[in-house]
Amino acid sequence: MPILVITGTGTEVGKTVTTAAVAAAAVAAGRSVAVLKAAQTGVRPDERGDAEEVARLAGAVTASEVARFPEPLAPGTAARRAGMAPVHPQDVAEAAAKLATEHELVLVEGAGGLLVRFDAAGGTLADAARLLNAPVLVVASAGLGTLNTTELTARELRARELELLGVVIGSWPGSPDLASRCNVADLPEVAGAPLLGAVPAGAGALAPADFRAMAPSWLSARLDGSWDAEAFRGRVAP
């Protein structure tokens, strides 16, 4: 798995912090890692973007982005409004493939969900994953509504014949409600893929050294971690 595409079921689901956790666990396992942000929006040239945030938390990670647009909009819209050239799926695939010649693992983080448009032709992260023939990790929210968005994302991946590696809950609450606790069992069923981890809410606010030390405990062995889905389900089951 030299390249892994990471998408969310929507915005604000914990995608960047989950990407950082995957990167940190891989680094701890002795792998060289790069993270590529397909399209960074809503960030000024002098501000830290998502890829840089992953590197801050995860440590020895190469951070890169294909393009950056100032307004916090879908990449295609942000590029058009800024009068800038858009990102195309081929651009993302080429950048990821180049990084893969120099690193053992490349994490390609999307913007928003799987089908957020990059360009006027309707190119998406899913198209980049197809060009790369790379598996996709889906980051989902914990609570009410997540089953619908997760299943829709999983169905789209299957329709495009893309491999869904699994699902990670991107922000597991300290005091989960009934829906969240039930969703631990239901998410892998609706996704048709395993639950591969649960990142605690607020993990991104940890000191980087603490984040790196704890990250493997939030992810399963498939992602270089020690998290056990059955044990977690047993602890939180209603």
Residues serving a catalytic function are: 37
Q: Dmax of the chain from CA atoms?
A: 52
> What torsion, rounded to 10 degrees, do the Cα atoms 128, 159, 154, 186 define?
-170
Q: Does residue 20 sit in helix, strand or coil? A: helix
* 139, β-bridge pairs: 8, 168
**Cα-Cα-Cα-Cα dihedral sign, residues 8, 11, 17, 19:** positive
Nearest of 33, 27, 31, 39 to residue 208 by alpha carbon? 27
Radius of gyration of the CA atoms of the chain, in A: 17
Please state at what angle helix 125-132 crosses helix 89-100, rounded to 10 degrees.
40
CA distances in angstroms from 114 to 82, 175, 195, 202, 223, listed in the order given: 23, 29, 18, 24, 20
* Integer Cα distance of 109 and 33 in angstroms: 13
